[in-house]
Structures are given as structure tokens and as C-alpha cells.
Amino acid sequence: MPIIKSAKKALKSSSRKKVFNDRRSKVMKSTIKDVKKLVLDKQSAEARKKLSEAYQAIDKAAKRGIIKKNTAARKKSRLSRLVKNTK
């Protein structure tokens, strides 16, 4: 545990930020899973609609530094390829 006052404040703020980051990460992962599930169920029209939500979640995570920019690009690329090949 921190002893110095500024370290205590830093601990509080980092724990608050962790909650927001965990929530954003969970939203991103769940939307990606939803898109993959729709693709497996052969529901390509609904998967395309959900794809934009997944893009948004991935971009927000990359913007906040939860994932890196190239990781976000890779995830979006793989998802779009998956949806595109479903017919």
C-alpha cells in the first residue's frame, strides 16, 4: 500500500480508470463475439449491422489506449473478412 499522499491519490485514480477500461474492453469483446456468432448462424445481414457496432467499440478501445492501434486494425480487418466471406 502507498504511504505518500500523492501515491494514494494515484492509486485511487488508477482504480477508477480501471473500471472504465474494463467496461470498454468487455463491450468490445462481447460485440466481437456477437458478430462471430451471427456469422456462424449464417445471418449475414444482421452480422453486417452488428459489424459497425464492433468497429465503434474497437475504435473507442484503441482511442483510450486499451488496445494498440495496429491491434484494432487487425481485429477490424479479420472481422470484415469474416463477414464478407459469409453468404
> What percentage of the chain has pLDDT greater than the value 70?
99
pTM score, two decimals?
0.87
**Largest distance between two CA atoms of the chain:** 60
From the CB of residue 66, how many other CB atoms can be counted at a distance below 10 Å? 17
Looking up cell 449491422 gives: 49
68 pLDDT higher than 90 = yes
Looking up cell 489506449 gives: 65
> Looking at residue 65, what is its pLDDT?
95
Instruction: Return d(Cα 48, Cα 84) in angstroms, integer.
Output: 9
